[in-house]
Homo-oligomer: A and B are copies of this chain.
Protein backbone atom coordinates (compact mmCIF):
# COMPACT_ATOMS: atom_id res chain seq x y z
CA UNK A 1 0.00 0.00 0.00
CA UNK A 2 1.32 3.41 -0.95
CA UNK A 3 1.46 6.04 1.74
CA UNK A 4 0.61 9.72 1.44
CA UNK A 5 2.31 11.88 4.03
CA UNK A 6 0.59 15.06 5.12
CA UNK A 7 1.15 17.84 7.63
CA UNK A 8 -1.57 19.58 9.63
CA UNK A 9 -1.02 23.22 10.59
CA UNK A 10 -2.84 24.05 13.82
CA UNK A 11 -4.26 21.69 16.43
CA UNK A 12 -7.29 23.73 17.46
CA UNK A 13 -10.90 22.65 17.06
CA UNK A 14 -10.73 21.87 13.33
CA UNK A 15 -7.13 20.59 13.29
CA UNK A 16 -7.72 18.12 16.10
CA UNK A 17 -10.94 17.11 14.36
CA UNK A 18 -8.96 16.30 11.21
CA UNK A 19 -6.74 13.96 13.21
CA UNK A 20 -9.81 12.41 14.81
CA UNK A 21 -11.53 11.78 11.45
CA UNK A 22 -8.35 10.38 9.90
CA UNK A 23 -7.83 8.01 12.82
CA UNK A 24 -11.44 6.91 13.20
CA UNK A 25 -12.17 6.42 9.48
CA UNK A 26 -8.76 5.14 8.37
CA UNK A 27 -9.98 2.10 6.47
CA UNK A 28 -12.64 3.78 4.36
CA UNK A 29 -10.36 6.74 3.71
CA UNK A 30 -7.58 4.46 2.50
CA UNK A 31 -10.04 2.60 0.29
CA UNK A 32 -11.21 5.80 -1.33
CA UNK A 33 -7.86 7.56 -1.57
CA UNK A 34 -6.18 4.33 -2.73
CA UNK A 35 -3.31 5.27 -0.43
CA UNK A 36 -3.03 5.30 3.34
CA UNK A 37 -2.88 8.85 4.67
CA UNK A 38 -0.29 9.39 7.38
CA UNK A 39 0.04 12.55 9.43
CA UNK A 40 3.76 13.19 9.56
CA UNK A 41 3.62 16.56 11.32
CA UNK A 42 1.23 18.65 13.32
CA UNK A 43 2.35 22.25 13.67
CA UNK A 44 1.30 23.95 16.88
CA UNK A 45 3.04 26.18 19.38
CA UNK A 46 1.39 24.29 22.20
CA UNK A 47 2.37 20.82 23.31
CA UNK A 48 0.01 17.87 23.72
CA UNK A 49 2.12 15.19 25.46
CA UNK A 50 -0.94 13.15 26.40
CA UNK A 51 -1.99 12.50 22.81
CA UNK A 52 -1.21 9.15 21.16
CA UNK A 53 0.29 11.04 18.24
CA UNK A 54 2.31 13.42 20.45
CA UNK A 55 5.53 12.61 18.61
CA UNK A 56 4.39 14.21 15.34
CA UNK A 57 4.06 17.70 16.86
CA UNK A 58 6.51 20.36 15.77
CA UNK A 59 6.84 24.09 16.25
CA UNK A 60 8.99 24.52 13.18
CA UNK A 61 7.18 25.12 9.91
CA UNK A 62 10.44 24.87 7.97
CA UNK A 63 10.81 21.22 8.91
CA UNK A 64 7.52 20.57 7.13
CA UNK A 65 8.44 22.74 4.18
CA UNK A 66 11.81 21.06 3.71
CA UNK A 67 10.49 17.51 3.98
CA UNK A 68 10.04 16.19 0.44
CA UNK A 69 7.85 13.34 1.70
CA UNK A 70 5.09 15.79 2.64
CA UNK A 71 3.06 16.39 -0.48
CA UNK A 72 -0.08 17.81 1.11
CA UNK A 73 -0.32 20.46 3.82
CA UNK A 74 -3.58 21.06 5.66
CA UNK A 75 -4.10 24.44 7.28
CA UNK A 76 -6.59 24.79 10.14
CA UNK A 77 -5.13 27.78 11.96
CA UNK A 78 -7.48 30.49 10.75
CA UNK A 79 -6.54 34.13 10.33
CA UNK A 80 -4.71 35.65 7.42
CA UNK A 81 -1.18 35.32 8.75
CA UNK A 82 0.87 33.23 8.97
CA UNK A 83 -1.59 31.10 6.97
CA UNK A 84 -1.01 33.05 3.76
CA UNK A 85 2.77 32.93 4.05
CA UNK A 86 2.64 29.20 4.71
CA UNK A 87 0.26 28.60 1.81
CA UNK A 88 2.52 30.47 -0.60
CA UNK A 89 5.57 28.61 0.64
CA UNK A 90 3.88 25.22 0.26
CA UNK A 91 2.47 25.90 -3.19
CA UNK A 92 5.91 27.19 -4.28
CA UNK A 93 7.57 24.03 -2.98
CA UNK A 94 5.60 21.25 -4.58
CA UNK A 95 3.02 20.78 -1.83
CA UNK A 96 -0.74 20.89 -2.40
CA UNK A 97 -2.61 22.97 0.16
CA UNK A 98 -5.96 22.26 1.81
CA UNK A 99 -7.55 24.85 4.07
CA UNK A 100 -10.66 25.46 6.14
CA UNK A 101 -9.71 29.13 6.45
CA UNK A 102 -12.37 31.36 4.88
CA UNK A 103 -10.49 34.53 5.69
CA UNK A 104 -7.50 33.28 3.72
CA UNK A 105 -9.55 32.19 0.70
CA UNK A 106 -11.70 35.34 0.65
CA UNK A 107 -8.65 37.62 0.87
CA UNK A 108 -6.10 35.70 -1.20
CA UNK A 109 -7.93 32.98 -3.11
CA UNK A 110 -7.17 34.20 -6.64
CA UNK A 111 -3.47 34.55 -5.93
CA UNK A 112 -3.19 31.11 -4.34
CA UNK A 113 -5.25 29.46 -7.09
CA UNK A 114 -2.95 31.01 -9.70
CA UNK A 115 0.12 29.80 -7.84
CA UNK A 116 -1.34 26.30 -7.55
CA UNK A 117 -2.16 26.26 -11.25
CA UNK A 118 1.31 27.45 -12.21
CA UNK A 119 2.93 24.67 -10.20
CA UNK A 120 0.36 22.02 -11.13
CA UNK A 121 -0.76 21.60 -7.53
CA UNK A 122 -4.12 21.65 -5.81
CA UNK A 123 -5.45 24.39 -3.57
CA UNK A 124 -8.71 23.11 -2.06
CA UNK A 125 -11.04 24.68 0.51
CA UNK A 126 -14.36 22.79 0.70
CA UNK A 127 -14.49 23.37 4.47
CA UNK A 128 -14.22 27.15 4.16
CA UNK A 129 -17.94 27.52 3.37
CA UNK A 130 -20.79 25.56 4.91
CA UNK A 131 -18.66 23.36 7.17
CA UNK A 132 -19.71 19.80 6.44
CA UNK A 133 -22.14 20.71 3.66
CA UNK A 134 -20.69 19.85 0.27
CA UNK A 135 -20.95 23.14 -1.63
CA UNK A 136 -17.66 24.10 -3.32
CA UNK A 137 -17.52 20.86 -5.31
CA UNK A 138 -21.19 20.84 -6.33
CA UNK A 139 -20.97 24.42 -7.54
CA UNK A 140 -17.71 23.83 -9.34
CA UNK A 141 -18.45 20.43 -10.86
CA UNK A 142 -22.05 19.37 -10.89
CA UNK A 143 -23.28 22.79 -11.92
CA UNK A 144 -20.69 23.05 -14.69
CA UNK A 145 -23.42 22.76 -17.31
CA UNK A 146 -25.35 25.66 -15.83
CA UNK A 147 -25.19 29.39 -15.80
CA UNK A 148 -25.60 30.32 -12.17
CA UNK A 149 -27.61 33.51 -11.84
CA UNK A 150 -27.85 33.83 -8.07
CA UNK A 151 -26.60 32.38 -4.81
CA UNK A 152 -28.24 33.20 -1.50
CA UNK A 153 -27.43 31.62 1.78
CA UNK A 154 -27.65 31.51 5.51
CA UNK A 155 -23.92 31.22 5.92
CA UNK A 156 -23.28 31.91 9.58
CA UNK A 157 -24.54 29.54 12.25
CA UNK A 158 -23.97 31.87 15.19
CA UNK A 159 -26.23 34.63 13.91
CA UNK A 160 -28.77 32.08 12.76
CA UNK A 161 -28.89 30.63 16.26
CA UNK A 162 -29.41 34.12 17.72
CA UNK A 163 -32.15 34.99 15.23
CA UNK A 164 -33.86 31.64 15.81
CA UNK A 165 -34.00 32.39 19.55
CA UNK A 166 -35.38 35.86 18.82
CA UNK A 167 -38.03 34.44 16.48
CA UNK A 168 -39.10 31.35 18.40
CA UNK A 169 -38.68 32.46 21.99
CA UNK A 170 -38.92 36.23 21.67
CA UNK A 171 -35.52 36.47 23.30
CA UNK A 172 -33.86 39.88 22.92
CA UNK A 173 -30.70 40.10 20.79
CA UNK A 174 -28.37 40.66 23.76
CA UNK A 175 -29.79 37.69 25.68
CA UNK A 176 -29.63 35.41 22.67
CA UNK A 177 -26.03 36.43 22.03
CA UNK A 178 -25.11 35.78 25.61
CA UNK A 179 -26.74 32.31 25.42
CA UNK A 180 -24.82 31.59 22.21
CA UNK A 181 -21.62 32.49 24.00
CA UNK A 182 -22.47 30.23 26.94
CA UNK A 183 -23.12 27.35 24.54
CA UNK A 184 -19.85 27.93 22.70
CA UNK A 185 -21.55 29.00 19.46
CA UNK A 186 -20.28 32.56 19.69
CA UNK A 187 -16.85 33.81 20.62
CA UNK A 188 -16.11 36.19 23.42
CA UNK A 189 -15.63 38.88 20.79
CA UNK A 190 -18.61 38.05 18.58
CA UNK A 191 -18.16 40.90 16.12
CA UNK A 192 -17.00 38.83 13.10
CA UNK A 193 -20.22 36.86 13.36
CA UNK A 194 -22.82 39.40 14.42
CA UNK A 195 -21.53 42.19 12.22
CA UNK A 196 -21.53 39.97 9.15
CA UNK A 197 -17.81 39.70 8.30
CA UNK A 198 -17.84 35.90 8.47
CA UNK A 199 -20.85 35.61 6.16
CA UNK A 200 -19.24 38.19 3.89
CA UNK A 201 -16.11 36.09 3.45
CA UNK A 202 -18.21 33.07 2.56
CA UNK A 203 -20.39 34.82 -0.02
CA UNK A 204 -17.18 36.24 -1.54
CA UNK A 205 -15.81 32.71 -1.96
CA UNK A 206 -19.06 31.44 -3.49
CA UNK A 207 -19.37 34.46 -5.78
CA UNK A 208 -15.76 34.14 -6.95
CA UNK A 209 -16.27 30.48 -7.71
CA UNK A 210 -19.63 30.81 -9.44
CA UNK A 211 -18.81 33.90 -11.49
CA UNK A 212 -15.15 33.24 -12.22
CA UNK A 213 -13.38 36.31 -10.85
CA UNK A 214 -12.42 37.22 -7.33
CA UNK A 215 -14.80 39.34 -5.27
CA UNK A 216 -13.07 40.88 -2.27
CA UNK A 217 -14.83 41.43 1.08
CA UNK A 218 -14.09 45.15 0.99
CA UNK A 219 -16.23 45.46 -2.14
CA UNK A 220 -19.26 43.89 -0.46
CA UNK A 221 -21.86 45.88 1.42
CA UNK A 222 -22.12 44.15 4.79
CA UNK A 223 -24.69 44.65 7.53
CA UNK A 224 -24.90 42.52 10.64
CA UNK A 225 -27.83 41.71 12.89
CA UNK A 226 -27.03 43.98 15.83
CA UNK A 227 -29.78 46.43 14.84
CA UNK A 228 -32.50 43.78 14.60
CA UNK A 229 -35.04 44.04 17.40
CA UNK A 230 -37.96 41.92 18.54
CA UNK A 231 -40.24 44.52 16.94
CA UNK A 232 -38.66 43.81 13.56
CA UNK A 233 -39.10 40.08 14.16
CA UNK A 234 -42.78 40.66 14.98
CA UNK A 235 -43.25 42.68 11.78
CA UNK A 236 -41.58 39.92 9.74
CA UNK A 237 -44.03 37.48 11.26
CA UNK A 238 -46.98 39.73 10.39
CA UNK A 239 -45.63 40.08 6.87
CA UNK A 240 -45.47 36.30 6.54
CA UNK A 241 -41.88 35.42 7.15
CA UNK A 242 -38.79 35.49 9.32
CA UNK A 243 -35.63 37.59 9.62
CA UNK A 244 -32.45 35.82 8.49
CA UNK A 245 -28.93 37.05 7.86
CA UNK A 246 -28.46 36.46 4.14
CA UNK A 247 -25.35 36.54 1.99
CA UNK A 248 -26.47 37.06 -1.57
CA UNK A 249 -24.92 37.54 -4.98
CA UNK A 250 -26.83 38.08 -8.23
CA UNK A 251 -25.69 38.49 -11.79
CA UNK A 252 -27.35 41.60 -13.19
CA UNK A 253 -28.33 41.99 -16.85
CA UNK A 254 -25.41 44.39 -17.18
CA UNK A 255 -22.99 41.56 -16.37
CA UNK A 256 -22.14 43.19 -13.05
CA UNK A 257 -22.65 41.52 -9.71
CA UNK A 258 -24.96 42.76 -7.02
CA UNK A 259 -23.56 41.35 -3.79
CA UNK A 260 -24.32 41.99 -0.14
CA UNK A 261 -24.69 40.59 3.33
CA UNK A 262 -27.70 41.87 5.24
CA UNK A 263 -30.53 40.74 7.47
CA UNK A 264 -33.61 40.20 5.34
CA UNK A 265 -37.25 39.31 5.69
CA UNK A 266 -37.67 36.01 3.91
CA UNK A 267 -41.02 34.45 3.16
CA UNK A 268 -42.14 31.38 5.09
CA UNK A 269 -42.50 29.69 1.69
CA UNK A 270 -38.79 30.08 0.95
CA UNK A 271 -36.65 26.98 1.22
CA UNK A 272 -34.34 28.95 3.51
CA UNK A 273 -37.08 29.92 5.98
CA UNK A 274 -36.81 26.66 7.93
CA UNK A 275 -33.05 26.70 8.21
CA UNK A 276 -32.87 27.24 11.95
CA UNK A 277 -30.46 27.19 14.89
CA UNK A 278 -26.80 26.72 13.96
CA UNK A 279 -27.65 25.21 10.58
CA UNK A 280 -26.67 26.75 7.26
CA UNK A 281 -28.61 26.64 4.00
CA UNK A 282 -27.40 27.70 0.59
CA UNK A 283 -29.59 28.22 -2.46
CA UNK A 284 -27.97 28.09 -5.89
CA UNK A 285 -30.11 29.25 -8.81
CA UNK A 286 -29.02 27.87 -12.19
CA UNK A 287 -30.60 28.31 -15.60
CA UNK A 288 -30.83 24.57 -16.21
CA UNK A 289 -31.19 23.15 -12.70
CA UNK A 290 -33.50 25.75 -11.27
CA UNK A 291 -33.10 26.18 -7.51
CA UNK A 292 -30.91 23.70 -5.70
CA UNK A 293 -30.58 24.00 -1.92
CA UNK A 294 -27.90 22.54 0.33
CA UNK A 295 -28.56 22.28 4.04
CA UNK A 296 -26.58 21.10 7.04
CA UNK A 297 -24.31 22.01 9.90
CA UNK A 298 -22.24 24.95 8.79
CA UNK A 299 -19.63 24.69 11.49
CA UNK A 300 -18.43 22.45 14.26
CA UNK A 301 -15.40 20.28 14.75
CA UNK A 302 -16.33 17.04 12.98
CA UNK A 303 -18.44 18.40 10.08
CA UNK A 304 -15.69 20.85 9.17
CA UNK A 305 -12.95 18.26 9.67
CA UNK A 306 -14.74 15.76 7.45
CA UNK A 307 -14.85 18.33 4.66
CA UNK A 308 -11.13 18.96 5.11
CA UNK A 309 -10.40 15.25 4.96
CA UNK A 310 -12.52 14.88 1.80
CA UNK A 311 -10.26 17.51 0.22
CA UNK A 312 -7.18 15.65 1.39
CA UNK A 313 -8.51 12.45 -0.21
CA UNK A 314 -9.12 14.37 -3.41
CA UNK A 315 -5.57 15.73 -3.31
CA UNK A 316 -4.15 12.24 -2.85
CA UNK A 317 -6.13 11.01 -5.85
CA UNK A 318 -5.11 14.01 -7.94
CA UNK A 319 -1.44 14.35 -7.10
CA UNK A 320 -0.70 14.32 -10.79
CA UNK A 321 -3.91 15.58 -12.39
CA UNK A 322 -5.02 18.89 -10.93
CA UNK A 323 -8.65 19.35 -9.93
CA UNK A 324 -10.43 22.01 -11.90
CA UNK A 325 -11.06 24.77 -9.41
CA UNK A 326 -10.11 28.24 -10.48
CA UNK A 327 -11.08 31.86 -10.68
CA UNK A 328 -9.32 34.89 -12.00
CA UNK A 329 -8.31 37.92 -10.00
CA UNK A 330 -10.90 40.64 -9.53
CA UNK A 331 -12.05 42.54 -12.59
CA UNK A 332 -12.46 46.29 -12.23
CA UNK A 333 -16.07 47.43 -12.07
CA UNK A 334 -17.31 43.88 -11.72
CA UNK A 335 -19.31 44.73 -8.60
CA UNK A 336 -22.25 47.08 -8.98
CA UNK A 337 -21.86 50.00 -6.56
CA UNK A 338 -24.05 49.43 -3.53
CA UNK A 339 -27.28 51.33 -3.21
CA UNK A 340 -28.25 51.63 -6.87
CA UNK A 341 -30.11 48.37 -7.48
CA UNK A 342 -33.87 48.37 -6.82
CA UNK A 343 -34.84 46.18 -3.88
CA UNK A 344 -37.76 45.71 -1.52
CA UNK A 345 -37.59 47.07 2.01
CA UNK A 346 -39.37 46.89 5.30
CA UNK A 347 -39.33 50.26 7.08
CA UNK A 348 -40.35 50.96 10.66
CA UNK A 349 -41.20 54.55 11.58
CA UNK A 350 -42.35 56.36 14.66
CA UNK A 351 -44.66 59.34 14.33
CA UNK A 352 -45.64 61.87 16.98
CA UNK A 353 -49.34 61.00 16.81
CA UNK A 354 -51.34 57.94 15.72
CA UNK A 355 -50.04 55.09 13.61
CA UNK A 356 -52.63 55.93 10.95
CA UNK A 357 -51.31 59.46 10.74
CA UNK A 358 -47.73 58.22 10.58
CA UNK A 359 -48.72 55.97 7.69
CA UNK A 360 -50.44 58.81 5.82
CA UNK A 361 -47.38 60.99 6.31
CA UNK A 362 -44.97 58.25 5.19
CA UNK A 363 -46.96 57.78 2.00
CA UNK A 364 -46.30 61.37 0.96
CA UNK A 365 -42.63 60.41 0.36
CA UNK A 366 -43.09 56.69 -0.31
CA UNK A 367 -46.30 56.62 -2.35
CA UNK A 368 -46.14 52.89 -3.16
CA UNK A 369 -45.65 51.76 0.45
CA UNK A 370 -48.00 49.15 1.89
CA UNK A 371 -48.71 48.95 5.59
CA UNK A 372 -47.84 45.94 7.75
CA UNK A 373 -49.60 45.79 11.09
CA UNK A 374 -48.11 43.78 13.91
CA UNK A 375 -49.84 42.73 17.08
CA UNK A 376 -49.22 45.21 19.92
CA UNK A 377 -48.15 47.97 17.55
CA UNK A 378 -46.87 50.86 19.64
CA UNK A 379 -48.76 54.18 19.50
CA UNK A 380 -47.49 56.17 16.52
CA UNK A 381 -45.45 53.25 15.19
CA UNK A 382 -45.94 52.17 11.60
CA UNK A 383 -44.45 49.32 9.55
CA UNK A 384 -44.21 49.57 5.77
CA UNK A 385 -43.16 47.41 2.89
CA UNK A 386 -41.72 49.43 0.04
CA UNK A 387 -41.12 47.73 -3.28
CA UNK A 388 -38.64 48.31 -6.10
CA UNK A 389 -36.60 51.16 -4.67
CA UNK A 390 -32.85 51.54 -4.43
CA UNK A 391 -31.19 52.03 -1.07
CA UNK A 392 -30.07 55.47 -2.21
CA UNK A 393 -33.60 56.53 -3.13
CA UNK A 394 -34.99 55.08 0.07
CA UNK A 395 -32.42 56.90 2.15
CA UNK A 396 -33.38 60.16 0.53
CA UNK A 397 -37.06 59.59 1.25
CA UNK A 398 -36.32 58.57 4.83
CA UNK A 399 -34.14 61.64 5.33
CA UNK A 400 -37.02 63.79 4.16
CA UNK A 401 -39.48 62.03 6.49
CA UNK A 402 -37.00 62.42 9.33
CA UNK A 403 -36.88 66.13 8.71
CA UNK A 404 -40.67 66.15 8.74
CA UNK A 405 -40.92 64.62 12.22
CA UNK A 406 -41.11 60.88 11.50
CA UNK A 407 -38.38 58.97 13.30
CA UNK A 408 -36.81 56.10 11.35
CA UNK A 409 -36.60 53.15 13.77
CA UNK A 410 -35.18 50.61 11.35
CA UNK A 411 -35.15 49.41 7.77
CA UNK A 412 -34.61 45.79 6.75
CA UNK A 413 -34.42 44.34 3.26
CA UNK A 414 -37.08 42.01 1.92
CA UNK A 415 -35.71 39.14 -0.14
CA UNK A 416 -37.18 38.00 -3.43
CA UNK A 417 -36.46 34.26 -3.13
Binding site for B on A (CB under 8 A): 21-22, 25, 28-29, 32-34, 126, 132-134, 137-138, 141-147, 271, 274, 286-297, 300, 302-303, 305-307, 309-310, 313-314, 317-318, 320-321, 324
Q: A138-B138, A306-B286 are in contact. Are A145 and B292 (CB under 8 A)?
A: no
Q: Which residue of chain B lies nearest to A313 when distances are taken between CB atoms in the complex?
A: B144
Contact of A293 (CB < 8 Å), options: B32, B143, B289, B296: B296
Q: Report chain B residues within 8 Å CB of A133.
A: 289, 292
Q: Report chain B residues within 8 Å CB of A145.
A: 21-22, 25, 28-29, 305-307, 309-310, 313
Complex CA distance for A391 and B100, rounded to whole angstroms: 46
Q: A32-B324, A294-B292, A317-B324 are in contact. Are A310 and B143 (CB under 8 A)?
A: yes
Contact of A132 (CB < 8 Å), options: B289, B295, B318: B289
**Could you say how many copies of this chain the assembly holds?**
2
Q: Report chain B residues within 8 Å CB of A320.
A: 321
Q: Report chain B residues within 8 Å CB of A313.
A: 141, 144-145
Contact A306 B293 (CB under 8 A): no
Contact B324 A303 (CB under 8 A): no
Closest CB in chain B relative to A268 CB, distance in Å: 9
Q: Which residue of chain B lies nearest to A314 when distances are taken between CB atoms in the complex?
A: B141
Contact B296 A144 (CB under 8 A): no
Q: A137-B137, A274-B271 are in contact. Are A143 and B306 (CB under 8 A)?
A: yes
Closest CB in chain B relative to A231 CB, distance in Å: 27
Contact of A25 (CB < 8 Å), options: B142, B147, B293, B302: B147
Complex CA distance for A141 and B313, rounded to whole angstroms: 9
Complex CA distance for A166 and B140, rounded to whole angstroms: 38
Complex CA distance for A287 and B300, rounded to whole angstroms: 13
8 A-B contacts (beta carbon < 8 Å): A32-B144, A134-B141, A138-B138, A144-B310, A289-B307, A290-B302, A317-B321, A318-B321
Closest CB in chain B relative to A324 CB, distance in Å: 6
